[in-house]
Amino acid sequence: MPSPIRAAWILGVIASTLAGQTPGTLARSSEAMVASAEPFATEAGLEILKAGGTAVDAAVAVGFALAVTYPVAGNLGGGGFMVIHLPGQGEFTVDYREMAPAAAHRDLYRDQDGKVDPEASRRGHRAAGVPGSVAGLCHVQARFGTLPLGAVLAPAIRLASEGFRVSPALARSLRADRDVLGAYPESKRIFLADGELRKEGDQFLQPELAGVLVRIAEKGRAGFYEGATADLLVAEMKRGKGLITHEDLLAYEVKERAPLRGRYRGFDIVSMPPPSSGGIALIQMLNLLEGFDYQPSERSGPDRAHRIIESMRLAFRDRALHLGDPDFAAVPAKGLTSKAYAAHLRPQIRERAMVSRNLTDADPFAYEKTETTHYSVMDKSGIAVACTTTLNGGHGCGVTVTGAGFLLNNEMDDFAIAPGVPNMFDLIQGEANAVGPKKRPLSSMTPTLVMKDGKVMLVIGSPGGPTIINTVLHVVLNVLDDGMEIDAAIAAPRFHHQWLPDRTQCEPKSLTESAESVLGKRGHRLEARTYGIGDAQGIRRDLKSGILFGAADPRRSGLAKGL
């Protein structure tokens, strides 16, 4: 008899794109590597590298190209985070997360009777935060790039103005979200071909979007946050009773924040600090797991899976209780990522599964000292970029800015819209993440670098809401603990726990049948995941030879390719 998880999987609706166990193509190069979720975007990055650009120039080109060819998550109307390593200069983290409009307030999504309307933070104009992607990419290019902004925008402008062939993946994503896109006339016209649906092989031209990209190429961030594009965006807000104003656009700030750093079994971990929760949770889980002896022979055993699940549970509990925008709330980042705090929590990981609702609160302050996408780029000089960018849900709030051709985010749903009310990812979040004017909502994005002796040896990240953090955790463990090559590490089946709901979602074969049986007896609630967890894009550098190995997640249809 098959196990309960496998039986549910067999009976469920299985997405044909979920491979999970079969590694994708392993790319190899001694020059440079780009791994992204969309082949045209990967090629855009390679084009810039061939023209003499660095990994930073290529990363900016990939970001703008994704806004054209990967509308489900690539964007001009969203935001993101970038982690950059420059040899001899160190690491930099750039926060261009969306911000709440000045008119936002904690009761924004309650009606006159005080009842919460979750859909209002997920669909339509009032779900959109002030976009940060254009400001962030322009900032990165000006600060760290070597080529003119117009040069790195050229591939995206060409893809928008001359068009490109609709891929099977693009056709599927548009078809899957046709109800969301079809609810708004401009989205229906552009992305659904006025309701006819765009088919694989169709030529897709986006002249309005090309016009916006040209204005950015000519004027930098002012080509988006001021002038014609800004006028179109604000007019769209007024048309749909949204909140974003000209003042909000002009006030948007990109922030360089101190990188979050951890250490695991002799490797240095560099990741994104708040308002991303990803770096804190990743380092906290690695700290917890480092306290247990581990042999590769234990990889498929129940004890290791049990410890990983319990580490996930504890980290996501602290995420809910303590994390938010550090510009508005005291976030105990150093405490949560300290080895001492992990040692304090570790004894809670015992023989049986913990019960999430019964967890005792801990005080990390006592340990203080004074449908998203990811891409990875690295060049032979050692420059490395990990970038995760998002509209939040697939195709964001569904609204396309009339006359500008780009979709807006629904990032306001990443706030805690009311105490105890889960967001679209079933996350319960705390007071530190309440809606407020000019605040940045908490994120799970986890662009990460793993380093050894000052050199980057792994660039990794993923989309997937809260599963982002655990996807990155799995890949890091697969590479560092089990010595897997990057393609196998990304393809290996994964599981996910996020404190609440108190369940572990499992891809097929993420646990052996015997491990499932043992974990069930220990009190774990295991559920089959009917679609893939994450879409990791990674690069591993062999520190002896300097060879770069890249892989795109076989769960979807990305491309890793070397120069």
Q: Render pLDDT for 250-298 as a digit per residue (tens, 0 to 9).
A: 999 999 999 999 999 999 999 999 999 999 999 999 999 999 998 887 8
- Select the more confidently predicted residue: 542 or 418: 542
The predicted structure's pLDDT at residue 2: 43
The predicted structure's pLDDT at residue 350: 96
Contact present, 3 and 522 (Cβ < 8 Å): no
Q: Catalytic: 372?
A: yes
Q: Render pLDDT for 471-510 as a digit per residue (tens, 0 to 9).
A: 999 999 999 999 999 999 999 999 999 999 999 999 999 9
Q: Taking 80 as the threshold, does the pLDDT of residue 439 lie above it?
A: yes
Q: Render pLDDT for 30-69 as a digit per residue (tens, 0 to 9).
A: 999 999 999 999 999 999 999 999 999 999 999 999 999 9
Q: Taking 90 as the threshold, does the pLDDT of residue 367 lie above it?
A: no
**Which range scores top for mean pLDDT: 294-298, 359-363, 423-427, 527-531?**
527-531
Catalytically annotated residue among 372, 373, 388, 504: 372
Crossing angle for the helix pair 302-322 and 278-290, nearest 10 degrees? 140
**CA gap 272, 156 in Å, rounded:** 27
Range 293-297 contact pairs with CB under 8 angstroms and sequence separation of 24 or more: 294/481, 296/481, 296/482, 296/483
Please name every residue paired with 386 in a beta bridge, in sequence order, or none if there are none. Answer: 83, 376
In 3D space, the residue among 414, 342, 456 whose CA is nearest the CA of residue 97 turns out to be: 414
Contact present, 508 and 528 (Cβ < 8 Å): yes
Average pLDDT along the chain: 93
The predicted structure's pLDDT at residue 423: 83
Residue 197 banded pLDDT, cuts 50, 70, 90:
very high
Residue 370 banded pLDDT, cuts 50, 70, 90:
very low
Q: Taking 50 as the threshold, does the pLDDT of residue 312 lie above it?
A: yes
Contact present, 217 and 157 (Cβ < 8 Å): yes
Q: CA-CA distances (angstroms) from residue 120 to 116, 166, 414? A: 9, 31, 12
**CA gap 59, 209 in Å, rounded:** 20
Kindly list the domain boundaries of the chain, sorted by start residue: 4-10+259-372+445-541, 24-256+380-433
Q: How many CA atoms lie within 13 A of 177 on its CB side?
A: 24
Rounded-to-10 torsion of CA 188, 191, 196, 199: -170
Query: Which residues are CB-neighbours of 498 under 8 A, at least 6 positions away?
Result: 312, 316, 425, 426, 427, 466, 467, 470
The predicted structure's pLDDT at residue 493: 97
Q: Render pLDDT for 108-153 as a digit per residue (tens, 0 to 9).
A: 999 888 899 989 999 999 999 999 999 999 999 999 999 999 999 9
Q: Taking 70 as the threshold, does the pLDDT of residue 20 lie above it?
A: no
Percent of the chain with pLDDT over 70: 95
Query: Which residues are CB-neighbours of 531 under 8 A, at least 6 positions away?
Result: 15, 18
Q: Taking 60 as the threshold, does the pLDDT of residue 172 lie above it?
A: yes
Q: Taking 60 as the threshold, does the pLDDT of residue 9 lie above it?
A: no
Per-residue pLDDT, averaged over 186-201, amounts to: 96
User: From the centroid of its chain, how far is CA 114?
Assistant: 32
Q: CA-CA distances (angstroms) from residue 308 to 349, 477, 519, 559? A: 10, 10, 12, 29
Which run of H or of E encompasses 244?
none
Residue 551 banded pLDDT, cuts 50, 70, 90:
very high
pTM flag (> 0.85): yes
Q: Taking 80 as the threshold, does the pLDDT of residue 357 lie above it?
A: yes
Please, what CATH class does the domain formed by 4-10+259-372+445-541 belong to?
Answer: mainly alpha
The predicted structure's pLDDT at residue 368: 54
The predicted structure's pLDDT at residue 3: 53
